[in-house]
Every structure is written in C-alpha cells, then in structure tokens.
Amino acid sequence: MSLGQALATAMSGLRANQAALALVSSNVANSETPGYIKKSLIQTATTTADYGSSVRIAGVNRELDAFVQAQLRTEMSGAAYANIRSTFLSNLQGVYGNPDSTGTLEAAFNTLTTAIQALSTSPDSQSARIGVINAAQNIAQQLNQASQGVQALRNTAENGLASSVSTANNAMSQIAAINNQLLSGNQTDASTASLLDQRDQYINQLSQLMDIKVVTNGSNQVSVFTTSGVQLVGVEAAKLTFDAQGTVTPNTFWNADPTKSALGTLNIYFPHGGSMDLIATNSIRSGTIAGYIELRDKTLVQAQSQLDQLAASLSSTLSDQTVAGTAAPASTLPQQGFDVDLAGLQSGNVIHVSYKDNVTGRTHNLSIVRVDDPSVLPLPNSATNDPNDQVLGVDFSGGIGSVVTQLNAALGGANLQFSNPSGTTLRVLDDGAANQSDVLSASTTKTVTAANSGAPQFSLFTDGNVAYTGAIGANGSQQIGLAARITVNTGLLSDPAQLVAYAPGTASGDTTRPDFILSQLTNASMYYSPQTGVGTPSAPYKGTLLNYTQQFLSTQGNAADAAKQLADGQSVVLNTLQNKMNATSGVNMDDEMAHLLALQNAYSANARVMSAIKDMYTALLQSM
Amino acid sequence: MAIDGVGSRSSYIGTSILNLKSQLDDLNQQLATGKISSTYAGQGVNRGLAVGLRAQVSAFDAYADTATNINTRINVANLSLQGLVDLNTQVKTAANGSSIALGTNGQTAGQISAQSAFANAIELLNTRSGDRYLFSGRATDTPPTATADEILNGSADGTRAGLSQVITERKTADLGASGMGRLNMSGAGVSPITLAEDVAPSVFGLKLSAASSTLTGATVTGPAGSPPGISVNLNGVNPSEGDKLSITFKLPDGTSESVTLTATTKSPPQPGEFLIGATAANTTDNLQGALSGAVKTLANTSLVAASAVAASNGFFGSPPMRVDTSSLPLDSATGLVAGTPTNTISWYTGEVAQSATDSARGTAVGKIDQSITVQYGARANEDAFRVQLQNIAVYAAVTTSATDPYANGQITALSQRVALNLSPQQGVQTIQDIQADFAGAQTAMKAAGARQAQVKTMTQTMLDSIEGVSPEETATKILALQTSLSASYQTTAMLYQLSLAKFL
C-alpha cells in the first residue's frame, strides 16, 4: 500500500524537519555562547519498500574546523604568555615612577647631587646638611620602595602560579571526566556534541596556561601533552602541585634542589605514580605559567639586581678608600715588593696586587678578597665587577698567619712570596735574584666606617645597621637585596655635622668631604655587574652612577615597550584566528534564518503531502 | 585578549572599538599632562637620553643656585672691602694733616676718629652673609676677630692684655730705666765719649747703626764690640766751626734716624750744635752734653712712636708677641715672647692657614660648572687686612700725656709712621688685590651662568621633544579617533540591525 508508505515518508520528513528546527533554535539560542560550535543535522535517505525513500536522522554534526582550532590554541598560549609579560613589565614601570615626577630614582639621585652641591657651597649651613640627609633618605627610601615593588610583583607571580595550577588541575580533571563520558562510543548525538564543546572549552583554558598538544583518537578520546612531551591527560588526568611560599624577598630564590629552594616549584604527579619537576626540566615553555615562572625567576630577579647594584655602587663609592702599599724595606733585598696594612680590612674588602710574570711578559692583577666564611671558597672571577682581575678569596677567620699560608699556597707558583713582618702588615715580595716575577704595585680597598677617620670617605649609606662592605657569606653576596635594606647611616642622622667633619677639629666651612661626595656621585666611573643585564661578563658596563641608572631604566623601559608591542601583536593574531574560528564554526544568524525558512517550507510541503494523502484516503473511502 | 564567544560579528569589532577607546584615553591623558607618557616605557627610544638630560637640567639648576649664593656672599664681602678702603683713606688723611692738640684723654682728634675707624673695620670684617662669616677662612661659624674693645683694651676681667698694654710694656722696654733708649753714655769730663747699647743681644731700644764725623783731628770708632758701642775722641784738638758728628740709629719699627751735631762758636748753641770750648776738654764736655740731649730727645719722640708701631706689629702677629718679662724686669728686658691665650688677647679667631700653600682664597671654593670652580674665601689675618688694622689700632691705642715735654714730637712721629704705613707698600698685599680676586670669581660665574642658561634652554627643548607632546597634534589625533570611533559605533549598530530575523 503505497499511500501508507507515502504517509510514513512524509512523517519522517516532518520528524527530520522538527529535529532540524530544534537544532536551528539551539544554534540561534547559543549564538553568543562561548565555545559553542554550530550544529547541523546529519540526515540520510533510506529506501522504504519498493519505491521512494524516507528520511533518517543519523546524528548531529559539529561544524568544527580542527585546523583553525589547533592554530588558535597555539596562539592562545603565546598570547597569554605575551600578555602576562606585558602586564607585569608595565606594572614594573610603575615601580620606577613617572619620569617627569619627583618619585623616581633619577629624581632622587638628582636631588641628592643638588643637595650635596648646596652643601659644598655652604658646608656650615645646618639646613644644607639636613637637606643632604633628607635627599639621602629619599633615595634610600626610593630604592627600598622600588625593591618592595619588584618583590610584590614576584609575590604576585608566585600567587599567580598557584591559582594557574589549580585552574589547570580543574581543566585537566574535567577533560579526563568528559573523556570517560564519551567512552561509550563514537556517537554523534546532540549530547555528545555538547560534551565535545565543553571539553574543547577546557582544553582552550588549559592552552592559555601552558603550551599543549592535543591528540584525538578515533573513539573521541583526547590525550593532552605539553609541547615538550609530558602527558597531562590520558585516560586519567595527572595532577600538578605548586607549593606557593608566602614570603618573597630579594633573597628568596627558586632552586632545583628542593632543600635549597625558597620559592614554590611546579611538580606533576602522574596517575600511575611517578612525578617530575616541571620548572627544573623546563617543560612549560609558553602560556601564563611559563610567563609567571620567567618573571619570578629571571625578569624580576634581574630588575632587583639592577636596584641592588645601584644601592651597592652608591654605598661603596662613598665609603671605599684605596690606600697604596709602601715599598718593602731595603732589608728584603734582593727581593722587592710592597707592604700593605690590613688593619680595618673587612669581609668583602680587597687587597690588589699587580705583578708581572717575566717569563711571559704578562701583567696580572690580583684581587684578594677577604672572606670570613670558608664555605664560599673558592670565589668565582665574577666576585668583583672588574673584568681584568683574577679573584682570589682568602679566609681571614684563622688570623693573619693562616692568611699568609693560604696566599703562599695559592700564589707560590706565580713566584710571589707573602709574609707578615709585624702586626697587621702583609708583605708581598717577588722572587729576588731569580727574577721570574716583579711586583708592580699593591694596595688595599677598605670600607671606611668611622665618620672622622681623617679620610673624606665614610659610610653615608649602610646596610640596615651594618656597613656595606660587599661581604660574601653562605647566603650569597651582601649586595643581594641591598636595595631593600639600604638606609642612611644612623650616626649621621643624629649628627649631621659628620657630613663636613671628616677629622677631629675640622672647620665647619671645610668642603673636603662634600666635594668628595659630589665628585664621587657625578664623576666617578666604575664597573657594574653583568647580572644586571647592563653589559656582558667579558665587557661589563663602566660608567658613572647616573650613566648606569640611565642604562637600566632605559633597558627596562625598552623591555616593557617591546613586551607591550609583542602582546599587542599576539592579540591581533589571536583576534584574527578567533574571528576565523567564529566564521567557520560559529553560528551565522543569517544562515540559520535562511535555514529556518527552508525548514518551514519543507515542513509545510511535507504537511501538504500528508494533507494530499488524507484527501486521497477520503476520496478512496467515499468512493466505497 | 581576544573576545571569545560574543558572536561572530561582535568579537572583532568589539576588540577594535576597545582598542580605539584606550587610544583615546591615552591621548586625553597626553593632552591633559602635556607629556607623552607617565612611564619610561612610553617615552620611546630616547628614554635613556631623557634621563641624562633631566640630570643635566637639574645640575644646571644646582650650579645656578650655587652661583647666586656665592654672588651674594661676594657682594657682601665687597661691601666690607670697600668700607675698609674708605676707612684706610680716612685714617690716613687724619694722620697726615690733623692737629697735634691733645684732648683730655691724651689723644688728638685724629686718634679719636681712628678709634671709631678701628671699631668699624672690626665690624666690617665680622660681616656675615646669612649665617656665614666671610673672613674666617673655613671656620665660617666663628667670628674672625675679637671685639674692637678687647683688642685695644684687653679682656674685661683684666687677665688678658690688649694692644694698649702691650704698647705700654714695649715703651718701657724700649726706653729703658734712664729714658735713653737703652743706651749707656759716658759722663761729663770723661774722654773719649762713649755711647753703647746696654746689652746684647736685645731687640729693644735704639740700635747703633753707623757713625761718621768731619771733626778735625778727632777719632770716631764704632759701632763695634758687644754690646755695640761708639767712641769719640777729640785727641786734644778742637774741631773747627762747621765740623760735624753724625750717628745713625735704627729704630724698632725698622726705620732709621740720624743725630747730627755741628761744632759752633756761637753761644748758646742751637739744637743740633755744640759749642767749641776754650780747650779740647771743654769741647768734649760740650759735645757730650749735646749728644746726650739729642739721644734723649730721639728716644722720647721717634723711639716711642716706633716702639708703639713695633708693639702693634707684634700684637697683630700670629701668635701675638709681647715683652718677655720672665727673667728680667720690663725696663731691662731683652726679648719678645709669644702671648698665650690666657694672658693675651688673640685678635684673629678664625681659621689659620694649614700650610704655606693653603691660600685664604682657597678656603671657600664653589663649583659653578662641571669642571669650573671659583675661590672666594678670605681670612681677616691676610696681610692687607692685618697691616691696615695694626696701623689704625696703634694710632687709636697710643695716648700721650699733655705734660710730657716730648708730647708733640711723639705725636708727630707716630702720625708720620701711621700715614706712611697706611699707604700701599711695595710687595705687600692690598685690599684692592682681594677685590680683584673677587671680581675675577664673579666674572667667571657670570660667564658660566650665561653659557649654562643657553645650554639649559637647548637641553630643555630637546627634553620636551622626547617627553612632551604637541597639543595641536594630540588634539588632531583625538579628533581623528573620535571620528573613527563614532563611525565604528555607527557601523556596529547598523551591522546588528542587518539580520535576516528582522525581515521574516
């Protein structure tokens, strides 16, 4: 009976129309839903009886462009990385202040030199002295604040890592859960499609946090790997842990050795046992997490070391006194050399010995650094900023006898002979008649702590309550974090006259000390550590304090500017891709409406067929 | 970040609009502040240069402050110097031409005016610019001199001697007990006549410097021996009329004076003459009497004045020198001793030179440019001030008894010396020399200031080009953005209108 068949076919048409209509309405409703992929009906014609075919609804199709989606995910992690860097660096710019205002390091420095200049003009004026102290306090506070700002940003990065990790864990476990729900088979129904939409959303979330690679198998299961190959999600999700530390100071660093690390590290625990440190293995290379790690352990550490270097140079240029040695007495002939006085030589202070190796004709510059903690020995050559010296750390905790022994052991091969003729005198002699070596000069550079030693040098700035001597201890160099601790000598605060009185009985109009300070601040040229990112280990930057400030502020400004441009560029790429994704896989309202029209027509046509069948049945029945 | 999921039409447009909006905000801020950015990052590639330029501008301001400060000080110091020059002229005029009539206090009108001149000179040297004493060397918080009253009259409690006491003591030491200027002379009826210093060595009294004679047949020897002496022997021969005996004395202030006696037959002989007697022995007696009188007159006039000048010179030395009475009484003292802070007023209280090369000018040095310094220090004990002070002071301190028969001679001798010493001396620093130094410093500052003002303008212009924005340009950009933004809004709105849903 073909009328019945026609009726059934028309019915199937109506069903298909309704199903398609349902999808249209769902597409329209979700047109603005994040992650919603346009759905379409999969319908096929099925042969029924001998003639004709009816419609079968095979499933729901997600109109996804997998290529654009993969590209989008890559760019997402890149954009997240660039964005976090740009955000932090522009916040860091805030730490350095508005260049035109008074709250900047350079303004504080300029105020200090102006105040010293005024003091040099009116050394007897109490107000000029107070002016210098205020300006010095200002620059110390400026350094403290900048240092705090940098550490606050590091702290934010640390906390950011913690929250990124919990977001990542959530996304990973959701992906695994959806994987499980889809395990029942490779279905194409609406719920499967919506689960796929959800899973893609979680993967997108994860791709913003780190650089990932997604592998989909035939049965709708995805495995997620980092691009470095660590599996994050398979059948089950791995778990990330991050032990965020509450205290972030200039002296806290991440270390691959967990016993030495003072900051949180990122571990991954695999579902079937085993774990690895993702920071130590450098497994995450992009995305927010990589951005945070780089900021916390590199970029901001460098920013801190720039401030520390400024604080250290500012302190030591005013307090370090270099005293040349005296020629050794004639009684040592034929050996010749120099005597230097080690009294007042503090940890981190340096004895310079310059000698010529007559065999090779080369001149060597030795920097013998006083160390009180033997565990830091031997010192690397980078312990001093001078690129042309050879650094030798000597433990002074055993007294001068042990110092002489250590020096002779280390430098006997260089044909130098050290001795201690009396008291605190260190004598360095060449090899005499053999004439393999000649001592060219010897001197000491000491930190002058007393204000009235008779030398214009003195500790205008101190490290908390102790003098800054550049000491190297078990916790690293005293320079680390100095910017956070630098302060104006408390002795000076209680007695501003120390700015002028460099010896007992100095006249109040004596400009010796103010002139010295001014010349050190404006003219003295020195080396700066390549760790600051200014200069390189083989050619460290050399210049005045202002030159250096100029350099690092410029470097930071440049970095922030470049990071912003990169982030802007990434954002354009991402937008374009997102747009493309929306165009290919998103809902197009016009399409839907046109489709709706077609469906309406098809529905009424189907209904028309049914009505015709009904008419035919009626005619048939009436004819009987 | 990309706007995700606000529909295909909205995301791209939305982001672009946000972008435009934030640009508009930036431009608004630029227009309001006149600055291109509030961070180093936003200043562009020249941000490092800007740091240097700002430091330069700040340094120029500091130099300008210094120059203003120093200029004020030099101007104040110059007023003092000009005042001192005027006082010098005033006292010199008074000493040159004033009357020798003594007032009730034993001083002439000229001397009384010298007293106020001295007080003025001390006041001028104690001038301050702000809190700073300008003539104390580096001890800018210490007045450079004691008060005028203390210098002249000693401390109020009498324990420390002033100039008057030092002059009186020296006068006694120079005159000696006999009032002969520490010279001993043979008595009447003794031949040959001898005239000798009382003791050697001694810094006091008249010093025999030379003797010559045209006395016929006479033998004049000396000055010779120790203590030095002169002998005159007529050898029994009467000199002829007009024959002369001349003896030159050296006075404590370094001047020399001669006594010349001429043989005459006119009785009574005038001052500077001696009567030729009937016999050579009579003549010897006459000569002895005339010589004794002449020496006494010299001692009580020129010597007294020279003694005062020498005493003042010693008192204004460093340390102040006075008669040493540690072993001998005043009238037979032989040497000078440094006054101690407990027994003598130290007139200069400022900073003393640390070494021979420590110049007074170098005690105040101002940095007025990267490598230019000016020196403008001064010490009240510089020669120019000291010479002037000690001569005005001696004129002001000496008193003369109206009943003294030698009073007129003393005052005349003193006035002459003061007037001469207040005139510029060859090779001695004058106040004009100091004025010239200061003028040099001011010229240097003026030149540096003018140059800095010029460079500062250029620097500021360059700085503005880095950190500033042109309001016109910003306004134009804002206008363009506004247009673009409203067009975008319009287009977006139209795009949303264009939906098939509307037309069904």
Cβ of A107 under 8 Å from any chain B Cβ?
yes
Q: A119 near A128, Cβ under 8 Å? A: yes
**What residues of chain B lie within 8 A of the CB of A578, using their CB?**
2-4, 11-12
Tokens 């997402």 belong to A76
Q: A338 near A441, Cβ under 8 Å? A: yes
Cβ of A502 under 8 Å from any chain B Cβ?
no
Dihedral of the alpha carbons of B377, B381, B383, B386, in degrees to the nearest 10: 130
Q: At what angle do helices B383-397 and B431-467 cross, to 10 degrees?
A: 140
**What residues of chain B lie within 8 A of the CB of A33, using their CB?**
5
- Give the distance from residue B449's alpha carbon to the nearest chain A alpha carbon, in angstroms: 16
DSSP state of B206: -
The 10 Å Cβ neighbour count of residue A29 is 11
C-alpha distance across the termini of chain B, in Å? 36
Q: B411 near B395, Cβ under 8 Å? A: no
The predicted model gives A10-20 an average pLDDT of 88
Domain boundaries defined on chain A: 2-63+586-623
DSSP structure string for A356-377: EETTTTEEEEEEEEEES-GGGP
Which pLDDT value is given to residue B4?
Answer: 47
* B498 has pLDDT over 50: yes
Q: Which amino acid is at A450?
A: A
Whether B504 sits inside 8 A of A109 (CB atoms) is no
- pLDDT range class, residue A174, cuts 50, 70, 90: very high
Nearest to B40 among A99, A124, A574 (CB): A99
In 3D space, the residue among A471, A491, A498 whose CA is nearest the CA of residue A482 turns out to be A471
Which pLDDT value is given to residue A584?
Answer: 85
Q: Which amino acid is at A97?
A: G
In 3D space, the residue among B409, B408, B396, B402 whose CA is nearest the CA of residue B164 turns out to be B396
In 3D space, the residue among A456, A415, A458, A457 whose CA is nearest the CA of residue A437 turns out to be A415
Which pLDDT value is given to residue B68?
Answer: 92
Which pLDDT value is given to residue B221?
Answer: 83
DSSP structure string for B77-99: HHHHHHHHHHHHHHHHHHHHH--
* B11 has pLDDT over 70: no
Nearest to A110 among B48, B54, B63 (CB): B54
* B3 has pLDDT over 70: no
Which of the following CATH numbers is that of domain B37-145+348-468: 1.20.1050.10, 3.80.30.20, 1.20.1330.10, 1.10.2020.10?
A: 1.20.1330.10
Q: Which amino acid is at B150?
A: E
Helix (H, G, I), strand (E, B) or coil at B370: coil
Cβ of A36 under 8 Å from any chain B Cβ?
yes
Q: What pLDDT digit, counting tens, does each position of B185-222 carry?
A: 887 777 788 888 888 888 888 888 888 888 888 888 87
Number of residues assigned to chain A: 624
* Strand segments (E) across A504-606: 526-527, 542-543
Whether B40 sits inside 8 A of A560 (CB atoms) is yes
Nearest to B51 among A518, A553, A586 (CB): A553
* A213 has pLDDT over 70: yes
Q: What pLDDT digit, counting tens, does each position of B86-102 carry?
A: 999 988 888 887 677 77
What is the rounded distance in angstroms from the CA atom of residue A274 to the CA atom of residue A284? 18
Q: What pLDDT digit, counting tens, does each position of A102-114 carry?
A: 889 999 999 999 9
What is the rounded distance in angstroms from the CA atom of residue A411 to the CA atom of residue A401? 15
The predicted model gives B251-280 an average pLDDT of 84
Q: What pLDDT digit, counting tens, does each position of A272-290 carry?
A: 889 999 999 999 999 999 9
The predicted model gives A132-146 an average pLDDT of 94
- pLDDT range class, residue B6, cuts 50, 70, 90: very low
Query: What chain A residue is nearest to B34 in terms of C-alpha separation?
Result: A100
What is the rounded distance in angstroms from the CA atom of residue A438 to the CA atom of residue A421? 20
Query: What chain B residue is nearest to A86 in terms of C-alpha separation?
Result: B41
Range in A351-360, B341-350, B403-412, B445-454 the model is least confident about: B403-412
C-alpha distance across the termini of chain A, in Å? 17
- pLDDT range class, residue A5, cuts 50, 70, 90: confident
| Residue B479, H or E segment | helix B471-497
Which pLDDT value is given to residue A185?
Answer: 63
CA-derived radius of gyration, chain A = 38
Q: B422 near B95, Cβ under 8 Å? A: yes
What is the rounded distance in angstroms from the CA atom of residue A306 to the CA atom of residue A548? 9
Instruction: Describe the strand order of the beta sheet including A239-242 as a list of residue ranges.
Output: A239-242, A266-269, A275-277
Which pLDDT value is given to residue B13?
Answer: 66
- Which residue intervals of chain B bear CATH 1.20.1330.10? 37-145+348-468
Three-state helix/strand/coil letters over A267-314: EEECCCCCEEECCCCCCCCCHHHHHHHHHHHHHHHHHHHHHHHHHHHH
How many CB pairs (< 8 A) connect A and B?
199
Mutating which of A113, A578, A592 best tests the B interface, going by the most B Cβ atoms within 10 A?
A578
* A543 has pLDDT over 70: yes
- Token pair recorded at residue A24: 């249209």
- Give ∠ CA B141-B145-B148 in degrees, rounded to 5: 135
What is the rounded distance in angstroms from the CA atom of residue A201 to the CA atom of residue A195? 10
Please list, in sequence order, all residues whose beta carbon lies within 8 angstroms of the beta carbon of residue A184, skipping any fewer than 6 positions away: none
Please list, in sequence order, all residues whose beta carbon lies within 8 angstroms of the beta carbon of residue A322, skipping any fewer than 6 positions away: A352, A443, A444, A445
Q: What is the mean pLDDT of chain A?
A: 90
Q: What pLDDT digit, counting tens, does each position of B355-380 carry?
A: 888 888 888 888 888 888 899 999 99
Distance from CA of residue B82 to its chain's centroid? 12
What is the rounded distance in angstroms from the CA atom of residue B359 to the CA atom of residue B409? 41
CA-derived radius of gyration, chain B = 42
* A86 has pLDDT over 90: yes
Nearest to A560 among B11, B41, B377 (CB): B41
What is the rounded distance in angstroms from the CA atom of residue A532 to the CA atom of residue A537? 11
- pLDDT range class, residue A580, cuts 50, 70, 90: confident
Helix (H, G, I), strand (E, B) or coil at B373: strand
In 3D space, the residue among A110, A67, A400, A74 whose CA is nearest the CA of residue A213 turns out to be A74
Q: A475 near A251, Cβ under 8 Å? A: yes
- Token pair recorded at residue A113: 């030199």
Task: Calculate the alpha carbon distances from B217 to A82, A83, B237 in Å.
Answer: 124, 125, 6
Three-state helix/strand/coil letters over A514-543: HHHHHHHHHCCCEECCHHHCCECCCCECEE
In 3D space, the residue among A493, A483, A515, A486 whose CA is nearest the CA of residue A502 turns out to be A515
Q: What is the mean pLDDT of chain B?
A: 85
The 10 Å Cβ neighbour count of residue B379 is 25
Cβ of A565 under 8 Å from any chain B Cβ?
no
Whether A508 sits inside 8 A of B141 (CB atoms) is yes
> pTM for the whole thing?
0.84
